[in-house]
Amino acid sequence: MTIDTAELPDPDGPEDRPTPAGNPGWLNEDELSFVRGRIPIVYVEAVPVRLNGLGQVSEVGILLRGTPEGEMTRSFVSGRVRYGETLREALFRHLENDLGPMAFPQMPAALVPTQVAEYFPMPGISQFVDPRQHAISLVYVVPVTGTCNPRQDALEVTWMSPEEALSASTQLELPGGRGVLLRQALAAVGC
């Protein structure tokens, strides 16, 4: 699916796809293109963190993805919420997809997210840009306790200190305004 480039919050790559048969929430490219031009699309995003024994953030995980064009770019765990899928199911599915089955995320007890981010196709409407669509993203900070082995080929998790995550150089590597979003999300957990 060529329109899914690295700037997008959701790769929606082949592995992320259900088989179309019988799932009303599966959209072919034309249909996805249609809805993306007509209504806001719901996303969940997650910033994986490691906590020390008292709950303080010791490390922040940032994904490194390869784009179809061969560039590398930083991103969060991220993806679309499907028709008929709960937010928890979508969050868990994308965590597993992006971090692997051994990450053992601590799923949030509350559905209220840490931040809400609005992405628009054109800059200036909000702090966040997604050239593909108008997306409304519920952003969670999710502690993980296991080992992260991204399932998709061009994907790694880089662990860094909160200070490094908040540094100007990391902020600049996050496209679409996600540097600001990372700062806002980490603020809620005392970083």
Judged by CB, which is closer to its own copies: 14, or 53?
A: 53
Give yes or no for residue 144 binding its own copies (CB under 8 A): no
Q: Which of residues 8-67 bind its own copies (CB under 8 A)?
A: 24-25, 27, 31, 34-35, 37-42, 49, 51, 53-57
Q: Which of residues 64-93 bind its own copies (CB under 8 A)?
A: 80-89, 92
The strand ranges marked E within the chain are 41-51, 57-66, 72-75, 77-80, 115-120, 128-129, 135-143, 155-160
35: enclosing H helix or E strand = helix 29-36
Which of 1, 64, 136, 160 is in the footprint of its own copies by CB under 8 A? 136
Distance of alpha carbon 21 from alpha carbon 37, whole angstroms: 24
Smallest distance, its own copies to C-beta of residue 34, A:
8
Residue 102: phi and psi, rounded to 5, are -105, 15
Q: Which two tokens stand for residue 100?
A: 């692997």
Smallest distance, its own copies to C-beta of residue 154, A:
27
Distance of alpha carbon 43 from alpha carbon 85, whole angstroms: 12
Smallest distance, its own copies to C-beta of residue 123, A:
13
| 3-class SS of residue 52 | coil
- Which residues would be at the binding site for its own copies (CB under 8 A)? 24-25, 27, 31, 34-35, 37-42, 49, 51, 53-57, 80-89, 92, 106-116, 118, 120, 125-127, 134, 136, 138, 141, 143, 183-184, 187-190
